[in-house]
A = this chain, B = another copy of it.
Amino acid sequence: MHGENNFKILNTSKISSARRGVLSTSHGDIQTPFFMPIATKGAVKTLSSFDMENLKAQILLSNTYHLYLRPGMEVIKNFGGLHKFMDWPGPILTDSGGYQVFSLASRRKITEEGAEFASHIDGSKHLLTPELSMDVQQNLGSDMVMVLDECTPPDYDEKTLNNSIIRTVRWAERSKVHFEQNLNTSNNPGALLFGINQGATDRNLRVRHALDLINIGFDGYAIGGLSVGEPFEEACGVLEVLHPVLPADKPRYFMGGAKPHEIVAYVKRGVDMMDCVLPSRNARHGLLYRFVHEDLSRPDFYETIHITNSKYAIEQTPLSADGDELSRYSFAYLHHLFSVQEMLAYRLATMVNIKFYLELMARLRSGIEQGAL
């Protein structure tokens, strides 16, 4: 429940800042660190919630902006929330909608009140305020609600960045007030609220902003504004300065894109939660991940293969050795499905990659337990 401590740390690494824990939500416990497949518009692209259960996903992430526009909040209200609409029994995290407003919508304008934007679908005008973001996410019945923030682009000058950061603190306060007012009448009274740390790659700003958020007090802390083009080392540097500042007993969520070896690095720097479109997007282009070495500290512990390469045309090895649905189909069959553009190709490839990311997290968890990470 919001306000209580829903996060329990089971192991703390002696050789890194990695942590192994359990995060409790209204829709079940999640073993940390974990990865969230992205069900953008109420479905992980090409897959059903039944598929996600079979893949043993612990949690899904959905996008507030997309669901707010389609199917719209009346439909979701009718169903009593997103869980029932998409029949996903596990936890759901929703973003604030801010990121899509900045990346997808046209004619956007930020004021103290919120973010004005025109829908990328029909051009209709909307004003996304911290309060509206809470209303929408709490109507969705999200288990983890994100405050509205501005995800600052890398080209902001110091002053603009500073002003944005300060506004994000005010928006975080307004988000929390409104979230708590809604809580008991919402579609998920047990929802957790996350603050979002910004500050680009300015480490001082990052720390100051984190302290402001901690002062407000949240159930968890997200680190936003990274994976937007900065060097990987910069992201690591930000995590390193935040590590001693963020409350040790609250979950930490690294928002957005990460390659498998980056995930390992972030987990070693204390990150508990991650999401990324890479596994599913790459899958639809025929790029598949697979493990090469057990030792995750090797940068080459995995490889990516192009299934459309002709060398897979007669490769009889199954896509999985686990007796699951994937173990029925060979690399050759998937190669063929891509060559004739069967939709099944994209579904099977997505399953392969999401399974890889989920398996990576399981290996990281067991690595922390065994003191190897």
Contacts and interface: CB of A to CB of B under 8 A. Distances in A.
A343 B340 contact: no
A27 interface: no
Interface string A55-94: 0000000000010001100110011000001110000000
A344 B48 contact: yes
B70 A340 contact: yes
Nearest to A69: B340
Query: Which of A46, A75, A314, A344 has the most chain B CB atoms inside 10 A of its CB?
Result: A344
A160 to B, nearest CB: 34
Given A78-B314, A85-B333, 18 more contacts: A43-B337, A45-B342, A48-B325, A48-B329, A48-B344, A48-B347, A48-B348, A50-B328, A66-B340, A70-B336, A70-B340, A74-B314, A75-B336, A85-B332, A85-B336, A87-B328, A343-B347, A347-B347
User: How many copies altogether?
Assistant: 2
A43 B342 contact: yes
A174 interface: no
A-side interface size class: 35 or more
A274 B42 CA distance: 37
A189 to B, nearest CB: 23
27 contacts: A42-B336, A42-B337, A43-B337, A43-B342, A46-B344, A48-B325, A48-B329, A50-B325, A50-B328, A71-B313, A71-B332, A71-B335, A71-B336, A75-B314, A75-B332, A78-B316, A78-B332, A79-B330, A79-B332, A85-B330, A85-B332, A86-B329, A86-B333, A87-B328, A87-B333, A343-B343, A343-B347
Contacts of A339: 70-71
A340 B46 contact: no
